């Protein structure tokens, strides 16, 4: 279970008929224990930032959040953050241009895996891909940190767990909740990897290099989706609601 601080926590059972009122009461008692008996806060701006930085699933949910049109309108009053948004989408476009020949190289290796030049070319492309992905991450973390600082100035979140904070922001900005996003993300990952494994094991003749290549390509496609395509979809939805400058 993801949590900001490793103290007394309660996890809602998955795929189980648990009444929301009972669960909320349990969480309330959990917070009372943490606050009054253990004398701790459930969260802090620093702890939340560290969680976003180190947990990729939570990071991508906050990406969904900061690309929400209401959040962007709120943050882009700062020219510095507005430039970060523009830089972010520039990096995403570059990453897309790199990902296309990378996927073609994977396809070529699937057919001619003995091609040394293709392996070298693919390694070069992947180096560029992960370099610009890191730049995207830096730009996103800057925006997320600004959002968190602003949120903590407006409201106290010390008595809320990570999932409760996610529920609050989801309700406040009319977007998908953290728990729902995690479920969908894990479901998509499991589906794609299962299809890749089934294809590599039962459709294609078993070969170590080919199997590894297929599974690696599946992971790469998932990364492209969550880093590029997913952001484009959110950006498209946001642009339809934005005012012209």
Characterize 223-234 residue by residue with b for buried, 16 or more Cβ atoms within 10 angstroms of its Cβ, and e for exposed: bbbbbbebbeeb
- Alpha-carbon distance of 205 to 82, in angstroms, equals 51
- Alpha-carbon distance of 123 to 129, in angstroms, equals 10
| pLDDT at site 131 | 93
Domain residue limits, the chain: 20-239
* Per-block mean pLDDT, blocks of 10 residues, the chain (245 long): 42 48 54 48 78 88 85 82 86 88 82 76 89 89 89 81 88 87 88 86 72 83 82 64 42
| pLDDT at site 5 | 42
pTM, two decimal places:
0.68
Question: Phi, psi (5° rounding) for residue 48?
Answer: -65, -40
């Amino acid at each position: 279970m993801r949590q900001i601080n490793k103290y007394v926590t309660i996890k809602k059972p998955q795929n189980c008929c648990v009444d929301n009122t009972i669960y909320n009461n349990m969480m309330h008692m959990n917070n009372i224990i943490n606050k009054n008996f253990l004398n701790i806060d459930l969260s802090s701006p620093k702890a939340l930032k560290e969680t976003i930085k180190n947990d990729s699933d939570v990071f991508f949910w906050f990406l969904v959040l900061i690309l929400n049109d209401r959040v962007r309108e709120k943050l882009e009053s700062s020219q510095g953050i507005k430039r970060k948004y523009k830089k972010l989408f520039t990096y995403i476009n570059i990453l897309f241009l790199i990902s296309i020949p990378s996927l073609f190289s994977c396809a070529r290796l699937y057919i001619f895996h003995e091609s040394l030049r293709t392996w070298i070319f693919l390694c070069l492309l992947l180096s560029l891909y992960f370099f610009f992905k890191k730049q995207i991450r830096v730009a996103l973390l800057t925006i997320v940190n600004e959002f968190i600082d602003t949120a903590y100035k407006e409201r106290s979140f010390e008595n809320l767990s990570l999932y409760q904070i996610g529920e609050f922001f989801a309700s406040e900005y009319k977007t998908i909740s953290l728990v729902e996003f995690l479920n969908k993300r894990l479901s998509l990952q499991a589906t794609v990897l299962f299809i890749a494994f089934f294809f590599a094991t039962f459709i294609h003749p078993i070969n170590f290099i080919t199997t590894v290549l297929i599974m690696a390509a599946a992971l790469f496609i998932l990364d492209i989706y969550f880093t590029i395509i997913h952001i484009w979809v959110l950006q498209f939805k946001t642009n339809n609601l934005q005012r012209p400058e």
